[in-house]
Amino acid sequence: MIQENIFGGKPRTRIGKWLDVRGISQEWLVSKTKISRTTISKISSDNDYSPTLPTIKKIMRAIREVDPAARADDFFDM
């Protein structure tokens, strides 16, 4: 199911929405995780994209810098 973000326009996944609500850019996630912009873009907007476990771990490490209580299953179907 594709949903538009709160700021209009593009479809967003749970991670994309989390970034939007906090005013955090995808570029921040790229910088923190060293994951490619293309992959971060897919993770933020494509609900059908399934990242690898190492990618999920990197993303969760970065997200927990902002929200220590965040869990992987808050963002990914596991």
- The answer to whether 66 and 5 have CB atoms below 8 angstroms apart is no
Residue 40 within a domain: yes
pTM to 2 decimals? Answer: 0.84
Total tally of structural domains belonging to the chain: 1
In 1-45 the beta strands, taken as DSSP E runs, fall at 3-4, 11-12
Cα 48 versus chain centre, distance:
13
Residue 5 has pLDDT above 50, yes or no: no
Domain residues for the domain of 18 are 11-69
Check residue 8 and give its pLDDT.
59
Residue 64 within a domain: yes
Q: Render pLDDT for 9-55 as a digit per residue (tens, 0 to 9).
A: 678 999 999 999 999 999 999 999 999 999 999 999 999 999 999 99
What is the C-alpha to C-alpha distance for residues 14 and 20, in angstroms, rounded to an integer?
10
Residue 77 within a domain: no
Residue 3 within a domain: no
Q: Report the CATH number at residue 21.
A: 1.10.260
Summarize the confidence of residues 51-67 as an average pLDDT: 98
For residue 31, give both structure tokens: 């910088």
Residue 59 within a domain: yes
In 1-78 the beta strands, taken as DSSP E runs, fall at 3-4, 11-12
